[in-house]
Amino acid sequence: MKDFEDSVYLNNFGITLKKLRHSKGLTQEQLAHTLQITPSAITMYESGTRNPSIKVLLKLSNIFNISIDELINVSYTNNTMIEALLGISVDEFNSLTPTQRQSIRYFIDFVKNKEKHLP
């Protein structure tokens, strides 16, 4: 589950970084130069294949004048994780009957308990 959560955070961070970079009119090369990293690192951040270091996150939050929470887009991530886990949007989940929602909750509990008993 942790790997899945990490991949969702990475993807959301990449989307946010790309939007912020575009909003400032910066190329990947320009941002990389400012951060003193390689342009390929920016490409990997934006594609969600690499985590930035804390040092890079701090520099980015200063460059774009936003908090690290905003940079990694935590609130968006929570909805995205739910949607990815369920295979449906939160609105679709909420539109299910109470019995259908409970069935999904039972299944999630089953999977969580099964993982506890794996070697």
- Taken in order of first residue, the domains within the chain and their CATH numbers are 2-74 (1.10.260.40), 88-119 (no CATH)
Contact 44, 50 (CB under 8 A): yes
Q: pLDDT digits over 47-91, tens only?
A: 888 889 999 999 999 999 988 878 886 554 456 556 666 677 777
Residues 41 and 78: their CA atoms lie apart, in Å, by 25
Q: State whether the Cα torsion 47-49-54-55 is positive or negative.
A: negative
Q: How far is CA 58 from CA 17, 18, 52, 64, 69, in A?
A: 13, 16, 10, 10, 11
Q: What angle do CA 92, 98, 99 make, to 5 degrees?
A: 110
Q: Could you tell me the pTM of the whole model?
A: 0.57
